[in-house]
Structure 1
Amino acid sequence: MQGQTIEGENVSLRAEVERLREREAASREILGVIGLNRSDERPVLDAITQNAVKLCDATGAGLWLSSAARDVIRLASVAATDKTEFPVGMEAERESISPMGRCMHDARTINVADIRDDPYYLDGDPTHIKMIDEVGIRSRLIVPLVANGIAFGCISLIRKEVRSFSDDEVTLIESFAEQAVIAIENVRQFCEVQTRLEREAASAEILQVLSESRSDDEPVFKAILGNAARLCGARLVTLTLVNEARTHLSYVTHWGTPLTIFQPGVTEWTINSPTAMCEVIREASIVHVADLVDSDLYRAGDETRVRVVDEEGVRAMQAVPLMQGGQAIGAIGLHWSTPKVFSESEAGLIRTFAEQAVIAIENVRQFREVQERLEREIATGQILGAISRSRADTAPIFEEILESAARLCRAPMAWLLLLNSDRSELQLAAYHGPTRRALKIGQSWPLTPDRNMTGLGQALINALTVQDEDLTQVQGYLKGEPDMVQLVDEEGLRTRVSVPLVREGQSIGAIVLSRREVSRFSNEDVRLADTFAAQAVIAIENVRQFRALETLNAELGDRVKAQVGEIERMGRLKRFLPSAVADAVVTTGDESMLSSHRALVATLFCDLRGFTAFCESAEPEETIEVLQTYHQEMSVLIDQHGGGVDQRAGDGIMVIFNDPIPVDDPAGDAIRLALAMRTKMRALCADWKKLGHRLGFGVGISFGYATVGIVGSAGRFDYTASGTSINTAARLCDMAANDEILISPRTWAAVEGTFEAESRGEVEMKGIREPVEVFAVLSE
């Protein structure tokens, strides 16, 4: 008996060991499959369901995954001992009260011994009735797949007999659930990395194309749209752009299977159109339509939406705006043949592509702007060159201007017309481009009332640019006027801009640019034509002035000879008079100012403090160097401040303001010069002090009447001033301490409110009867 017991225990132990070995083998198999399948979780999930059926003696096993919205579950893998009623890929609503719904809602295992006791079966739920009564399922185990505390799927095992799953079996399936979570997470991370690498490669490709296509945005658009289609699985990706006036959205290009109802370069929509692409422009935000059939436009019978769905087979679309300067300038549209829910990751990717498209557009715009600017600068340079070469003839200049205007403004025909002297006729001065009728330079047309009402006539009358966008719609053509009918019907002109040549506010002619199709000249074209018109006016004026100059030169010949003697006389005068006086005489041609006269002047005296003592101790060379530096610096300041006359004697300087050259503020000008002198002398005295020279600087200024004029004899003239005001300035200079500027009462009265000064009281001055109040200037 005891031997039988031991034998039974041995059999049980061997069975347990075998069971454990099978489970370990199953775990190794699953881990091996996980290691081999980094980009696809399906083989791992199949290994889990197959081992679950085998090791748990189950009739079948299914692994279900929840949708992103957590409202639907999908069967991702199934294994069964016989034919299953549940194919991979089937979907069911995730109800929170169903067994699987409760399992995922609560993130807990549910073990049902007999599902006949389940409320769903008792309530007559069709699915549960079929499971039990038709398929024969009786026992069920549901284990959640949990990540970060949230269940996103489950493993479901079934038996066709009432036999509850044991605790060991539950533990095993829970371990399988953990392995499924690892596999799914591995694949998710691997796919994320792959997606990121693919997107980085796409961005690198687009950036490479961007760098190679500075003058053409089409290759960049193709690269962007192609990568968007590939990475998002779209059948068609389109690009649309808003026109300059922001009134229409144009279909520019596409990648993929095109829609037959839309043509790149032809199809356009008004910006207020109800289409999704126009809505993107208006709202400047992404538009998602997961199912076009389930959209308001389709239900309302919108013709375009219905044709896109029913004829072209498009079911889902996403449109992303191209943003620049806070507004949408276009959109990228992605189209799918099946309904599609869009992820934020996909939206972010398309936003990146949209940003790159904007960069491409801006790069090409800037490149073309630079190219156009260079072309226009070259044209301007050529015209200016023609102007400089043709000083006596306008014809070569006009030809250069019209050739440049026609080429840069894309106008096959260009005319330059000039008004005659009485403004009664227009004459053809130059023309460029093929013409269907005979034209001759100098040909003229009278300015009749009818012609004055045309765009050209109005441009001449008002001196303003006038554009006729469609000549078939102007009054002259509609009335059958011969000139307009000939221009339109015979010459084939449709669009015309008339740019007046304006001189001194009045038109003297016009440049007329024409196109043989209805195509409005842009604002930039008009601005460029204005520039050409201005250059034509310059050329006309240059030739006029050149011819007038030739006439004038002939007339001036005799006058020049007569003036040579006078100039020589003035040259001699400058040798014996102060420069300012000589310049005034030469400028006015009037020597009477040199005679003695009475004038209201401001007089400035300045000299160096301690100069006499310095001369006694210094070497002659040092004395000369100090004087030369002093006079040189003071001369610069005197010239800068408009001193009329200055005289020098040793270290003394006298400067007169208001004669012979009148100034507005003689007293103020004298003080401003004194302040500038003081500032400069502070620096000079500091430098001299380093050399051992102790020198200072003082200034005296007076304002009053004095006798001014030339004194001396032939060959030795001097222009000077005398009088009490002059003596006062000299006495004030003598009284001034180092760094001090002393001024007379009348000087202070003339500048009070402009400068700061303080009274030093009344002082006695030699040669002046009454005491004089003295003021020291502080600052301006």
Structure 2
Amino acid sequence: MNAFDLGLIFIITGLVFFGVVRLLAQTAPKMRPVPEGDLLHSPAGNGEEAVLVVEAGGRVRSLNERARQVFQLREDEIPDLERLVRHARPVDALMMLCAGEGRARFVLNGRFVEGVSYALTFQQDKLVLVSLRFPELTGLTEGGEQGLSSQTLQTFTELTRAMAASLDLEQTLTAVLEGVEKIVPADYLEVGVWDSELRRFVFFQLNWVSSSERRLEQDPVGGAPGEGYTGFLYQERVPLLITDISRRMDVRPAEGRMPGIRSFMGLPLMADGEFVGTLELGSRVIGAFREEDLGLIRLLAEQAALAIRNALVFQEEKKRSTELSRLSQLTQAFGSMRDPKSLFSRLVENVARLIKVHIAGFLLYQEAQRVLEAQIPFYGLPDQITELYRVNVGINSPLENALLEQDVLLTEDASTDPLWENLGLAFVAQAASLHETVLVPLQSGGRMLGYLQVSNRLEGGSFTQSELNLLMIVSNQVASIIENALLVQQSRQRAQRAEALRQIVSLTSSAANLDEILQFSVQELARLLRAEVGAVFLMDQARTTLSLHRSSFVGPAVDLPERVTRLQVDDAQFPFTITESQEVLRVGLITDEVPIIPFYRHLLSQWNVHSVLAVPLVVRSLGVGELWFGN
């Protein structure tokens, strides 16, 4: 190939390349700069849409007249994105639209909004164009012929799906309130759930806990079925629309609810003829609600009532299942326990958690002593008070009649109730600050064992019927457990007593001296009787003096002079001693009124004894001394 041919090839190649480039340039879309004013001062919009243009970094470059109206800006006011997003709920929804491309639905100044954003590049600047549309939801008015638009049907479908998505009560109520606020803006929006057991309303609202988060909260102040607008909805079971509450005097808002409202709209929530609660909206503006709004909310209320009713049923069934599970665990856990103290400790803890009370315990009836006494531990009460929780059951007394009738004893305030005073229980109720209290009888095989007591609900208020029923189930189950434990304990005690008596008898027939016999006997008897103090008084051989046998004394060491531990026979007090009278002395609580001679009273005071048991030692009808045990 010569130089001429090579040059010709280069020329042809260059012409072909030039032609291809020219052709591509003619077919490519023509780029032209967009006038700055078109984008900055007149962003796209159809007059009904609010449009704003945001720079990277958050500065608002432009917004149309509709957006100024929506965000309540003056014509000459410079928009600030941080201020604009405060109008939206949640705040993050509008903020994310302004940060990049996307779609979102949220509430803006009480109105349901559908937003869409687009990312643009303008003169090397990265911008975001946000368009906000306010769909009009229309429904049927009473007696009207207006139909539902496709947008309305789509919105209702989404709302009903959200309400039925969960059986959790809080999630259901949240979905109901969020759904209503998307349809009708209001200053106050709440659902009143009817508690048929307590015969009162429990109100729920959605409250903002931060700029981007809100939470379902229960109003601590409930409502009675006859109060205000809620009472009207409960009694009449018809919707209530008041455009100006100052012109409607036959029914008035309840004091303290929805302060400052000028108009009101409410509906009873009915599910298959069952009253579930109320849906109530309030506004500070006169005429804020229309018949069209009532028609829309009426359609949504039907689905809301069903969703709430299902959630309440599920909640109740879940509660019952939990209670039955705990009752089953209660029986399994204690069926093999035999030690009463461990048994009562576990029982009262589980009962307190099951019923949700501050105080729970058992009062057992000691038939031989005719005493009703609390068992340690008593959940929520210190042992010092529990030890004093001991009531004598007099013959034909109100307490004995209550035990015989085996009735449930219920009071709203045990510290002031006359019934508790008549029963002799008021002193403990006042000392322990008992309020709402229930005594449920413990009976096994027709035998009355005592009471299961629960007091001071964690949530306050009266005990519900379901709680009383649950307490009856618990008492029926634990009564047999307690009876078995007590029988085992009594059997062990009888065996221990028999063994102790055998050892004492064996010791008396051995070569042991009197001091050894008395020391061992007092120690064993004190252990069996669980006495803190044990002592023996003996007559001397001349029968002139009754004196304390010091070597056999059981209890705290107290240095007493000899003269206070001896009583002469010729003393005026001697005829009233246990040795001389040969009578048993049993005192549950020593007071000034108890007839005890000064000789004994002084010794018991030195030993710090408050309850005693004393028996005579008799040989051939002659008193030779006496045994004392005390606590």
Q: Is the 8 A contact 2:163 2:175 kept in 1?
A: yes
1 CA distance for matches of 2:261 and 2:432? Answer: 43
Q: Distance in 1 between matches of 2:492 and 2:481?
A: 16
- 1:223 paired with 2:346, answer yes
> Mapping of 1:225-374 within 5 angstroms?
225-244=348-367, 248-255=371-378, 257-258=380-381, 263-271=385-393, 284-291=406-413, 295=417, 315-323=435-443, 326-327=447-448, 329-336=450-457, 339-355=460-476, 358-359=479-480, 361-374=482-495
Question: How has the CA–CA distance of structure 1 residues 168 and 492 changed in structure 2, closer, same or farther, with 3 Å as cutoff?
Answer: closer
The one-letter code matched in structure 2 to 1:150 is: E
> CA 1:22–1:328 in structure 2 vs 1: closer, same or farther (change >3 Å)?
same
Give the counterpart of 2:584 among 467, 473, 480: 467
AA paired with 2:277?
G
**Aligned-residue offset at 1:164:** 3.8
Letter in 2 for 1:253: I
For the residues of structure 1 that align with 2:418 and 2:596, how far apart are their CA atoms? 50
Q: Match of 1:194?
A: 322
The alignment status of 1:30 with 2:149, answered yes or no, reads no
- 1:108-150 per-position Cα deviation (integer Å, ceiling 9, x unaligned): xx3456555x9x9543654289999953326x35142336x43
In the alignment, which residue of structure 1 is the partner of 2:627? 514
Does the 8 Å CA contact 2:202/2:223 hold for their aligned counterparts?
Answer: yes
Correspondence 1:137 to 2:260: no
Closer, same or farther in 2 for the Cα pair 1:132/1:164, shift >3 Å? Answer: farther
The 3 A distance-change label for structure 1 pair 200 and 247 is: same
Alpha carbons of structure 1 residues 476 and 114: separation in structure 2 relative to 1, 3 Å? closer
* 1:291–1:316 Cα contact (<8 Å) kept: yes
User: What corresponds to 1:754 in structure 2?
Assistant: none
Aligned-pair CA distance for 1:190: 2.0
2:341–2:377: 8 Å Cα contact kept in structure 1? no
Asked if structure 2 preserves the Cα contact closer than 8 Å seen for 1:322 and 1:332, the reply is: no
- What's 1:146 paired with? 271
User: Does the alignment pair 1:47 with 2:162?
Assistant: no
Which secondary structure does the structure 1 equivalent of 2:196 belong to?
A: coil
* Cα deviation, residue 177, structure 1: 1.9
- State yes or no: 1:123 paired with 2:254: no
Matches within 5 A, 1:413-562: 434=552, 456=579, 466-467=583-584, 496-498=614-616, 500=618, 507=620, 514-515=627-628, 517=629
Q: Take 2:579 and 2:279, find their aligned partners in 1: how far apart are those partners?
A: 86
Name the one with the larger helix percent.
Answer: 1
Letter in 2 for 1:287: L
In structure 1, what residue type is equivalent to 2:253?
T
Q: 1:380 to 1:133 in 2, by over 3 A?
A: closer
Q: Against the structure 1 CA distance between its residues 128 and 287, is the aligned structure 2 distance closer, same or farther, given a 3 Å change threshold?
A: closer
Helix, strand or coil at the partner of 2:149: helix
TM-score, length basis structure 1? 0.44
1:177 equivalent to 2:177? Answer no
Distance 1:247 1:66 in 2: 47
Distance 1:122 1:512, change over 3 A: same
Report the CA distance shift for 1:26/1:246 in structure 2 as closer, same or farther (over 3 A): same
Q: 1:330 to 1:312 in 2, by over 3 A?
A: closer
Residue 45 (structure 1) shift: 1.0
Give, in whole Å, the separation in 2 of the partners of 1:190 and 1:113. 37
Q: Residues 197 and 465 of structure 2 are in contact (CA less than 8 Å); yes or no, is this contact kept in structure 1?
A: no
| 8 Å contact kept, 1:44–1:183 | yes
**What secondary structure sits across from 2:316 in the alignment?**
helix
Change (3 A) 1:458 1:327: same
Q: Which amino acid aligns with 1:25?
A: E
1:565-584 matches, cutoff 5 A = none
Gaps of 5+ in 2: 1-137, 139-145, 209-215, 527-532, 554-559, 563-567
Measure, in 2, the Cα distance between the counterparts of 1:370 and 1:304. 31
Shift of 1:240: 3.7
Which residue of structure 2 aligns with residue 442 of structure 1?
Answer: none
d(CA) in 1 for partners of 2:538, 2:408: 52
Q: Is the 8 A contact 2:276 2:309 kept in 1?
A: no
Q: 1:327 to 1:500 in 2, by over 3 A?
A: same
Partners of 2:488 and 2:618 in 1: how far apart? Answer: 31
Report the equivalent of 1:93: 224
Mean Cα deviation higher: 228-237 or 333-342 = 333-342
* CA–CA distance in structure 2, aligned partners of residues 335 and 17 of structure 1: 55
SS of structure 1 residue aligned to 2:462? coil
TM superposition shift of 1:271: 4.5
Deviation at 1:28, TM superposition (A): 2.2
Matched, 1:73 2:201: yes
Give how far 1:25 is off. 1.8
* Shift in CA distance, 278/62, structure 1 to aligned 2, threshold 3 Å: farther
SS at match of 2:387: coil
TM-score (norm 2): 0.53
Which entry has the higher C-alpha Rg, 1 or 2?
A: 1
Question: Pick from 139, 142, 154: which aligns with 1:21?
Answer: 154
Cα distance in 2 for partners of 1:489, 1:161 equals 81
Deviation track 1:247-285 (CA, whole Å, cap 9, x = no partner) reads 55444434555479x623245445479x99999658643
SS of equivalent to 1:347: helix
1:91 maps to amino acid = G
In the TM superposition, residue 446 of structure 1 has moved relative to its aligned partner by: 12
Cα distance in 2, alignment partners of residues 23 and 360 from structure 1: 57
1:381–1:67 CA distance, 2 compared to 1 (3 A): closer
Paired amino acid for 2:355 = C
Q: Distance in 2 between matches of 1:76 and 1:132?
A: 13
* CA–CA separation in structure 2 for the residues paired with 1:155 and 1:489: 70
Q: 1:343 to 1:513 in 2, by over 3 A?
A: same
Question: Residue 174 and residue 286 in structure 1: after superposition, are their counterparts in 2 closer, same or farther (change >3 A)?
Answer: same
State the one-letter code of the partner of 1:371.
R
Change (3 A) 1:145 1:495: closer
Output the amino acid matched with 1:220.
L
Task: Give yes or no for contact 1:52–1:58 (8 Å, CA) kept in 2.
Answer: no
Structure 2 counterparts to residues 617-632 of structure 1, below 5 A = none
Q: 1:136 to 1:79 in 2, by over 3 A?
A: farther
Q: Aligned partners of 1:401, 1:236: CA distance in 2, in Å?
A: 47
**Where in structure 2 are the equivalents of 1:101-116 lying within 5 Å?**
101=231, 103-105=233-235, 110-112=238-240, 114-115=242-243
Alpha-carbon distance in 2 for matches of 1:474, 1:291: 33
Instruction: Give distance in 2, aligned partners of 1:132 and 1:385.
Output: 86
The CA RMSD over aligned residues, in Å, is 6.1
1:183 partner amino acid: A
Contact 2:449 2:479 in 1 (8 A): no
Q: Is the 8 A contact 2:443 2:449 kept in 1?
A: yes
Q: Is the 8 A contact 2:330 2:350 kept in 1?
A: yes
Cα distance, 1:20–1:59 mapped onto 2, change above 3 Å:
farther
Is 1:156 equivalent to 2:289 in the alignment? Answer: no
511 and 16 in structure 1: CA distance in 2 versus 1, 3 angstrom threshold: same
Q: Which amino acid aligns with 1:154?
A: T
> CA separation in 2, counterparts of 1:446 and 1:142?
92
* Count of residue pairs brought into register by the alignment: 446
2:456 counterpart letter in structure 1: H
Q: For each residue in 1:290-325, what CA deviation from the matched residue of structure 2 results, as whole angstroms up to 9, or x when unmatched?
A: 356885589x9x99969967x976543333344465
Whether the 8 Å CA contact 2:200–2:222 is kept in 1: the answer is yes
Q: Displacement, 1:47?
A: 0.8
The 1:514–1:168 alpha-carbon spacing in structure 2 relative to 1, beyond 3 Å, is: closer
